[in-house]
Amino acid sequence: MKARVAACCIFVLVPGLVTFSQIMPAVSPEFRQEANKYYQAQDWEKAAEAYKNIVYLESENANARYRFGNSLLNLSRNTDALPQLEKAFSISPNPVYALALARAYARTGGKSKAFEVIEKSTKIGGIAPETLTSEKDFAAWKDDPAFKELVQKSDLAVNPCKASPEFRQFDFWIGEWDVRPAGGPVVASSSIQLILGQCVIFENWFPQAGSSGKSFNVFDTQDKKWHQTWFDDKGTFAHYVGGLVNGEMVITADKSVGDKSTLAKLTYSKLPNGDVRQHGENSTDDGKTWTTTFDFIYSKKK
């Protein structure tokens, strides 16, 4: 298959002389679309031929190099794929290209090279650990201690919050809970989930009466504080800021109650039996004195 290109010429005008300097043809938009169509359809023979032509004309096109190399991998032309993927990764180091290059090394007997590339990927975002462990090209290494260590490093690269103890400070609130006033009946249920790569604690509040609501709780690495953003089905919004104080999560927010400027405080305490106490308070004198607004005990659902 021949590349459809738009041939171009440059005319250089010099007094008394006209010369012609021909430049490299350019890849047409139609041909790029055709190459992409073959790639998306997994027609690897045609895709490889198309991207071979694009790479010939655009040697520094990292994505074309990657797609050419990946097409060759899918055709089991592993030795031919290797230099294309090496070049793509050198032009644009990223985890997607790293995975393809590591697979090419694995297929051509370059175990140490594959490990080196996976190691590099952990510095630029990482490859998902489940991708590494499920990849057939790496199956022979599943019990290799060095490979297992790379999987762990990749896990922390992909999910950086796992490695940060600050992000784990509020984990005691995670769970499925029945909520009641101290000594009283259940008034609500609450589902507290760890989401988004273990970076965010997501609250789902379902009362037996009153407003349902949700909150997002996250540690901000910039100000080194915890932030809780609360919304409910009546349009109420509040933003609390704080952190651990003597083992308790204490967060505060500025609110308006009626025509008064009010400081609201929430204190979360892990109790000896595993329950969690949530104590709400308000202050109208800038925190000099506090009045309890609610006092809930979260108990694990049976």
**Number of compact structural domains in the chain:** 2
Q: Which pair of tokens denotes residue 213?
A: 């609501």
Answer for the pair 125, 156: CB distance below 8 angstroms, yes or no.
Answer: no
Query: Is pLDDT larger for residue 225 or for residue 259?
Result: 225
Q: Are residue 16 and residue 151 in the same domain, yes or no?
A: yes
Domain ranges, residue 229? 166-300
The per-residue pLDDT for range 43-63, each reduced to its tens digit, is 999 999 999 999 999 999 999
pLDDT for position 24:
61
Task: Tell whether the model's pLDDT for residue 7 goes beyond 60.
Answer: no
Q: Are residue 19 and residue 155 in the same domain, yes or no?
A: yes
- The residue type found at 298 is Y
Q: Are residue 208 and residue 88 in the same domain, yes or no?
A: no
Q: Are residue 190 and residue 226 in the same domain, yes or no?
A: yes
Q: Which long-range contacts (CB under 8 A, 24 or more apart) does 71-74 make?
A: 71/39, 71/44, 71/47, 72/44, 72/48, 73/100, 73/103, 73/104, 73/107, 74/42, 74/44
The per-residue pLDDT for range 181-228, each reduced to its tens digit, is 988 999 999 999 999 989 999 999 999 998 999 999 999 999 999 999
Q: Are residue 198 and residue 289 in the same domain, yes or no?
A: yes
Q: Are residue 150 and residue 174 in the same domain, yes or no?
A: no
Q: Are residue 123 and residue 38 in the same domain, yes or no?
A: yes
Residue that terminates a domain, selected from 134, 159, 184: 159
Q: Are residue 201 and residue 153 in the same domain, yes or no?
A: no
**CA distances (Å), origin 169, targets 151, 158, 278, 279:** 25, 20, 16, 18
Q: What is the CA radius of gyration of the chain?
A: 30
Q: Are residue 11 and residue 147 in the same domain, yes or no?
A: yes
- The residue type found at 217 is N
Answer for the pair 68, 55: CB distance below 8 angstroms, yes or no.
Answer: yes
Could you tell me which residues come within 8 angstroms of residue 29 by beta carbon, excluding any fewer than 6 positions away? none
